Amino acid sequence: MSQKITIEPVTRIEGHARVTIHVNGAGEVENAYMHVDQFRGFEKFCEGRMFFEMPVITPRICGICPVSHHLVSAKACDMIAGVNPPRPALLLRELMHMGQMIQSHSMHFFHLAGPDLIFGFDADPAIRNVVGIIEANPELALKAVKLRKYGQEVIRIVAGRRINARFAVPGGVNKALTEKERDELLAPIDEMIGYMGEGLALAKQWLEANQDVVQWFANFRSGYMGMVNPETGALELYDGPVRLIDRDGKLLEQFDGARYLDYIREHVEDWSYLKFPYYKKMGWPAGVYRVAPLARLNVADCISTPLANEEFKKFKAISKGPVEPSLYMHYARLIEDIYAAERTRELLEDPDILSTDIVTESNVITGEGVGVIEAPRGTLFHHYWTD
């Protein structure tokens, strides 16, 4: 007798989803679907708004990564205004972005993924949660809270508020950083990197001890997409060309994100509001690719900061081609976490970070703008048209 199993709601994710599993009479899974059935409608209700309102409206899209939407929206508005922000403004925007990466990556590993890794997938759900981690390992839980707090403090100090900031504007930013604020953010970085190292050790220990699970769980071939430095091919999270590789690691494209429609299309299914992007030249479903930390490390040639790059070399040694098992996403995420902390220090130590030259004015309207950024969970595009 066939059976349909429904899991609703799916917990420990951002947003809303349900899973349906279709089992045949022999007890075998025939199909499984993850339904993202949360209708948002931002594309529609943004119609008719002034373009400079978009960096304030769009952060409401996501409660975990509002900074990504805020900054990528501002980048699209820069293009509409035909303006290049001054270097200090770009540094401050990237610093804010690093704060978000730290808070989001730390929260994802310790609070969302951690319960499964520490207690096991089959543990009682009553303890397999963040409260269970606090009870089982309060010292680790406190460090996780401090990591997320530090990321949030970077955002607050740089932008003036933690949630839905009004910081990035077309042409730059509206708040400079003071010397006192800079020093306040510099002081805890070594401590935070130490906490990240403990998380990294925990992840690697789990991956090594559970290779049987790692190799069968969500291990599949795909393409990969991520942003890179145009000169070195290093990991980039704020700005750079978009690189796309195939399932064997061969370079397919490296393109200016503003031209994404030349390379990417979206597939739709009637069982989900979620759209499914794919590489245009290969079509659906052959052109499916993955994004987020695992993909970004698979497409990158190196990482520009020393500690993260040393761990990146070990990550690359896992496979001759792209690292495919999805559970290595945790490893990749923590490497990026360390990079974000190291990059935060680099930005804070740049003399231009204290400059008050933070906005370039413009009286031009080009009519169209595209912004691209690496959000914690993948490459994010905002595309606006205006009259």
Question: pLDDT by residue (tens digit) across 276-285?
Answer: 999 999 999 9
* Greater pLDDT, 15 or 273: 273
Complete DSSP assignment for 329-358: HHHHHHHHHHHHHHHHHHHHTSGGGG-S--
Q: What percent of the chain has pLDDT over 70?
A: 100
The dihedral formed by the CA atoms of 382, 238, 204 and 216, expressed in degrees to the nearest 10: 30
- Phi/psi-derived region of residue 218, left when phi > 0, alpha when psi is between -120 and 50, beta in every other case: left
Tokens of 91: 């540094």
Of 34-48, 77-91, 94-108, 168-182, minimum mean pLDDT range? 34-48
pLDDT score of 261: 97
Q: 225 exposed, middle or buried (CB, 10 Å; 0-12, 13-18, 19+)? A: buried
Continuous H helices in the chain:
42-45, 54-57, 66-80, 87-107, 114-119, 130-136, 138-159, 179-186, 189-209, 211-216, 293-299, 306-316, 329-348
pLDDT score of 253: 98
Alpha carbon separation from 256 to 37, 158, 226, 227, 372 (Å, rounded): 32, 28, 12, 10, 9
Q: Indicate the average pLDDT of the chain.
A: 94
Q: What's the predicted TM-score (pTM) here?
A: 0.94
Q: Do residues 290 and 225 lie in contact, with contact meaning Cβ atoms separated by under 8 Å? A: yes
Mean pLDDT of 203-229: 95
Fill in the amino acid letter for 361.
E
All domains in the chain, ordered by first residue: 3-35 (no CATH), 42-359+369-385 (1.10.645.10)
CB half-sphere exposure, 111, CA atoms < 13 A: 18
| 135-160 residue pLDDT tens | 988 999 999 999 999 999 999 999 99
